[in-house]
Structure 1
Amino acid sequence: MSRTTRLQDLIRELRHHTGPIGGPELAERLGITLRTLYQDVAALRAVGVEVVNTPGQGYVLSPDVVLPPAALAEPAPREPAELIFFTNPLSRGGIVHWMLEELGVSYRTVVLEYGTTMKSPDYLALNPMGKVPAIRHGDAVITEAAAICAYLADVFPTAGLAPPTADRADYYRWLFFAAGPLEAALGLGLLGVHPTPEQQVQLGCGDVWAVLDALSGAVAGRRYIAGDRFSAADVYVGSHLGWGMHFGTIPRRPEFEAYWAGLRDRPARARCEAFVEQALSPLA
């Protein structure tokens, strides 16, 4: 079914329904998923068709809405923007690599070396920090692994790696908890820095054991960290827990091991592991 047909059916269903109709019921009547319904409602609003969603009641369309036929026309096909992935096998680029493989989209990999190509003028023009990972998607440049994962989940929504906007509380919370407090606390420990209680007050990460306890509670008894589906948050949190337990920077708590066991054998991650092994084989 084309988007034009879906939008026309959506308007027709709203016009013929007396009073508000809930999202799940509306999606079922139209034979589409809730995610597609959210996207189609957003598409209508983008062309000036006000679809009102009242919390606890549902969607309603004003009876006097007139939609010009051109507003529902399919957009002209565009050349997809090139997606370039800058990485090094021994870096956090592995997180983004896993994310890209989960998306199943086409991308080009550029491997950079520490101290040389990673600090070249061309790459510094993209990322002044001279670090990886980074991506260039058309004219857009995104750095920082958590930001890249969130961006990719949003610009490739059909992969389903981000929950619906209304259900993203845990998704955002734990994705950026791992990028902030967890990384900072582990980094301090790796350097042998153990902040005093007074110094912990000044740090966003606080105490490393409090950080690990919070994350333990987040994954305990759960297959995925942000709802009942795999998401970009699992890519990011799972990567840190997997690597941390492997290298000994994160203790092997039962809840960490159980959560990681449900992620480590995903085919997309296996492809990333194969890439790393192949890239490092000449060094063996």
Structure 2
Amino acid sequence: MPRTTRLQDLIRELRHHTGPIGGPELAERLGITLRTLYQDVAALRAVGVEVVNAPGQGYVLPPDVVLPPAALAEPAPREPAELTFYTNPLSRGGIVHWMLEELGVPYRTVTLEYGAAMKSPDYLALNPMGKVPAIRHGDVVVTEAAAICAYLADAFPEAGLAPPPAARGDYYRWLFFAAGPLEAALSLNTLGVQPTAEQQRQLGCGDYWTVIETLAGALEGRRHIAGTAFSAADVYVGSHLGWGMYFGTIPRRPEFEAYWAGLKDRPARARCEAFVEQALSPLA
């Protein structure tokens, strides 16, 4: 029941009684809990409506009390915080772009060219690394694609892109497995660096093929990486697999291809692809 209606009913019930009425009886008549009654009485008192609590008798509203209009007003809706997305079409910003499109919330895109624009004092104040993506949500600044995906899933829970807190084991595990061991192993392999057995013990990613086998085992027979529903972890892991298989940095294993086939045609991702194509068309 809206607070406005509850307060109106409370005033009406108190005015109906010429004498005090006990809290439990009043709450029962109004169909609310005793705790809610206490909160509503406090709300009225806060705006100058002195509901009297007669000791041992109950509540009473003096007959000369005038109810100010503000007492029954709903709180003014808060202006939603502006969400700004900093990216470049040829960057990991594509991961965050996909996430934003899945959310279905308004956001402003700022496209930065590599070089001077990313190293400008204004942007370095947001991300001292001088890299994209980054977001600003009101006064909150978040960098790093995995962190941004996790933040957005929590900031907009109505989108349902994160499991309930008690069911986030796989969600956190594979989201940050892809951000840590997978990214590191892919980078080393792309650079032609083959760590020795001793170096593998020092690296969080171990070696390239262990990472690939581990991820393939996690995805075998699964449509989603973290439970039965699509989540931010699928955005992040799926992006890496899609790009990796396209550019040849990740092998086209059946587990990866089946998983990616279930993600690549999502409407939100298609909108991101259209954005990239449009942004790159002048360069063709």
Q: Structure 2-normalised TM-score?
A: 0.76
Give the match for residue 233 of structure 1. 233
Query: Where does residue 219 of structure 2 map in the other structure?
Result: 219
Residue correspondence of structure 1 range 78-89 to structure 2 within 5 A: 78-89=78-89
State the SS of the aligned residue for 1:85.
Answer: strand
Distance 1:4 1:264, change over 3 A: farther
State the Cα distance separating 1:3 from its structure 2 match: 9.4
Aligned residues: CA RMSD: 2.0
Distance 1:197 1:271, change over 3 A: same
Distance 1:140 1:4 in 2: 33
In structure 1, the residue matched to 2:70 is none
Q: Which amino acid aligns with 1:140?
A: V
Matches within 5 A, 1:5-84: 66-67=35-36, 68-70=38-40, 76-84=76-84
Match of 1:102 in 2: 102
Q: How many residues align?
A: 226
For 1:150, the equivalent position in structure 2 comes to: 150
The letter of the residue matching 2:220 is A
* Structure 2 CA distance for aligned equivalents of residues 273 and 138 of structure 1: 27
Amino acid paired to 1:222: R
- Offset at 1:69? 2.8
Give me the identity figure in percent: 82
| Paired position in structure 2 for 1:259 | 259
In structure 1, give the amino acid aligned to 2:178: A
Q: Which has the larger radius of gyration?
A: 2
Shift in CA distance, 268/3, structure 1 to aligned 2, threshold 3 Å: farther
* Alpha-carbon distance in 2 for matches of 1:190, 1:283: 26
Q: 1:2 to 1:255 in 2, by over 3 A?
A: farther
Q: Partner of 1:192 in structure 2?
A: 192
1:4–1:178 Cα change, 3 Å: farther
* Matched residue, 1:270: 270
Distance in 1 separating the partners of 2:177 and 2:205: 9
What runs of 5+ residues in structure 2 fail to find an aligned partner? 6-32, 44-72
Report SS of the residue matched to 2:202: coil
What's 2:129 paired with? 129
Segments of structure 1 that go 5 or more residues without pairing to the other structure are 6-63
Q: 1:250 to 1:65 in 2, by over 3 A?
A: farther
